[in-house]
């Protein structure tokens, strides 16, 4: 009887360990030499850690699984030191627009709402005092942003040129990785 009870406890512990390890999506360290396009783009813009979260189509709510990813990112980031800045890139339910491509106001608003949801979660729930910079990936940088090479322009260009922000044009999109309905959260230090 004791042996059977011990076997059941061991089986439950192993199952719990497997479930936790499968469920956790550890924040990734940004590295130029890794094959991940997002990792390369994150390193290019000076981020040390990043994570990618998903949104349900048409929604701006951050579900519990994605909140767990944000908590893990904040935990890893805060353990390393003072966070200078958090950058959030949010897409609507479509890819980054190609140059000259028209984007609906609904797509722009959905991406803005997703940015606000992530920012609110960091500020209110995680009580982060880091600066949070938002990048609406449903909009291309405007003429002025390109002219002065703003931070928004640099970030979007880095993600587009590396292929971490594929656009809607052509079959290349499927090869480069889909970002529709996602947000990428980057952590930068002093």
Q: Per the domain annotation, does 10 fall within a domain?
A: no
Contact (CB, 8 A) for 180 and 52: no
Residue 5: predicted pLDDT: 44
pLDDT interval class at 179 (50, 70, 90): confident
- Residue 101 above 60 pLDDT? yes
Average pLDDT over residues 161-182: 68
Do the domain assignments include residue 149? yes
Q: Which domain holds residue 70?
A: 27-189
In a domain, 114, yes or no: yes
Edge-first strand listing for the sheet containing 83-90? 28-29, 49-54, 182-189, 83-90, 131-136
pLDDT at 24 over 60: no
Q: How many domains does the chain have?
A: 1
- The answer to whether residue 11 is domain-embedded is no
Residue 45: phi, psi to the nearest 5? -95, 5
Helices assigned H by DSSP within 45-103 = 64-80
Q: Is residue 83 a part of any domain in this protein?
A: yes
Segment 114-135 shows an average pLDDT of 96
Mean pLDDT of 150-155: 92
CA distance 139 to 96: 7
Read off the DSSP letter of residue 122: I
- Res 142: pLDDT: 86
Residue 179 lies in a domain: yes
14: in domain: no
Report yes or no on 22 lying in a domain. Answer: no
Share of the chain above pLDDT 90, in %: 58
Provide the Cα torsion 58, 61, 66, 70; round to 10°.
130
Residue 165 belongs to a domain with what CATH number?
3.30.1330.60
């Amino acid at each position: 009887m004791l042996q059977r009870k011990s076997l059941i406890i061991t089986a439950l512990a192993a199952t719990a360990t497997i479930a936790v390890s499968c469920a956790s999506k550890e924040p990734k360290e940004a590295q130029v030499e890794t094959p991940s396009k997002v990792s390369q783009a994150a390193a290019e813009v000076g981020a040390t850690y990043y994570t990618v979260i998903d949104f349900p189509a048409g929604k701006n709510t951050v579900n519990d699984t994605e909140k767990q990813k944000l908590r893990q990112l904040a935990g890893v980031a805060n353990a390393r030191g003072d966070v200078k800045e958090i950058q959030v890139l949010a897409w609507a339910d479509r890819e980054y627009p190609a140059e000259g491509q028209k984007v609906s106001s609904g797509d722009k608003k959905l991406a803005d709402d997703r940015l606000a949801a992530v920012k609110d979660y960091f500020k209110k729930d995680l009580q982060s005092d880091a600066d949070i910079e938002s990048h609406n990936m449903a909009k291309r940088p405007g003429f002025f942003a390109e002219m002065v090479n703003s931070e928004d322009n640099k970030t979007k260009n880095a993600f587009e040129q590396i292929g971490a922000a594929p656009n809607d044009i052509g079959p290349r999109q499927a090869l480069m990785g889909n970002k529709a309905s996602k947000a990428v959260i980057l952590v930068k230090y002093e």
